[in-house]
Amino acid sequence: MSDQPPKLQWKDVRIHLSGHDVLDGLNLTAQTGRSLVVIGGSGQGKSVTIKIAMGLMTPDSGQILIDGEDVTHLTGARRNQLFARFGMLFQGAALFDSLPVWENVAFRLINADGLSRPEGRKRAIEALAKVRLGKEVADLYPGDLSGGMQKRVALARAVVGSPEIIMFDEPTTGLDPITADAVNDLIVEQVKQLGCTAISITHDLASARKIGDDVAMLHGGRIVWSGPVESLDNSGNPYVEQFLAGRAEGPITAAI
C-alpha cells in the first residue's frame, strides 16, 4: 500500500445551512488519478460538498486535506497557489456573459497567470478544439451558444490550465441524452489526457457509470455507501438500490 496521502479528503465535515445540517460528518476520499463520482438525491448537499472542497464555502467543523495538507481555513498566497491546481465545471456553466468565449476560456491565463491577450487567445482556441468547438465560436458570446456548447466551453475553461484536480458539478444536467453522452465522452477524454483526479457530482446514473472509477452515495449529509463503479449494481445497500431503481418507496424520501 502506498504511503502517499489521498489527493483530496473530506474529514468529518459538518455544515449547517438554512436551519438544517446539510453535511453531518462527511468523510470522503478522492485518490490520486482516479475519477470519483458522488451520487445522491436533490438537496442532499452534493454541490455544497464540492464548494467546500473548492474553498467557496467554509465548513462549521471538519477538515479539507489536499495531498495531506489541511486547507480548510487557508487564505492568502498559499491558498491561491493550491487552488490554482483546481479546475471546475459549474452546473449552469457559469460563463461570464459579458466576455466572448475565448476570453472566458483564457480568463485564468490572462488575469491570474499574466499571459498576454494574443497568447491567451491562442491557448483558448487550442482548448476549444479539444472539446470539438471550432475557431468560429471563439468570438461569440455565451448567450449565443446552446446549453451543450456552453458546457463544452466551460469544460475547455476548466481544463485549459492543466489542473491536477478537476470538479464537475452536475455536468449533464439540462442536456438531452445524446448531448449529455457527448459531454461525458469529452470529460473522460480530458481527464485521461490530463491524468488528473476528478470529482463529479451527479444524479445522472448514465453519467456516473461513464465518467466514474469510484462512486460514493451521499444521503442525509453523510456517505452511506462507496465502492468501485463496477460494484454499483450489487452494492447490497438499500439507499443505492432505491436510487438505482428510481423508486419512491424506500429509505430515501422524495424531495417534494
Query: Taking the complex as a whole, how short is the minimal distance between the CB of residue 100 and another protein, in angstroms?
Result: 13
Q: Identify which of residues 52 and 240 has a Cβ nearer to another protein in the complex.
A: 52
DSSP 61-78: EEEEEETTEE-TT--HHH
Placement of cell 466514474 in the chain: 212
The binding site for another protein (CB under 8 A) comprises: 51, 54-56, 80, 83-84, 86-88, 90-92, 94-98, 107-108, 111-113, 157
Query: Taking the complex as a whole, how short is the minimal distance between the CB of residue 165 and another protein, in angstroms?
Result: 11
Placement of cell 477538515 in the chain: 63
Q: Identify which of residues 51 and 123 has a Cβ nearer to another protein in the complex.
A: 51
Distance (Å, rounded) from C-alpha 49 to C-alpha 222?
10
Query: Taking the complex as a whole, how short is the minimal distance between the CB of residue 134 and another protein, in angstroms?
Result: 23
Query: Taking the complex as a whole, how short is the minimal distance between the CB of residue 27 and another protein, in angstroms?
Result: 24
Q: Identify which of residues 4 and 98 has a Cβ nearer to another protein in the complex.
A: 98
**Is the CB of residue 127 less than 8 Å from the CB of residue 156?**
yes
Q: Tell me which amino acid residue 204 is.
A: D
Q: Identify which of residues 86 and 102 has a Cβ nearer to another protein in the complex.
A: 86
Q: Identify which of residues 93 and 180 has a Cβ nearer to another protein in the complex.
A: 93
Distance (Å, rounded) from C-alpha 63 to C-alpha 12?
7
Distance (Å, rounded) from C-alpha 150 to C-alpha 227?
32
Contacts of 188 (CB under 8 A, 6+ apart): 35, 210, 211
Query: Taking the complex as a whole, how short is the minimal distance between the CB of residue 108 and another protein, in angstroms?
Result: 4
Q: Identify which of residues 97 and 249 has a Cβ nearer to another protein in the complex.
A: 97
Task: Report which secondary-structure segment, H or E, holds 186.
Answer: helix 177-194
DSSP 12-42: EEEEEETTEEEEEEEEEEE-TT-EEEEE--T
Query: Taking the complex as a whole, how short is the minimal distance between the CB of residue 87 and another protein, in angstroms?
Result: 7
Placement of cell 497557489 in the chain: 81
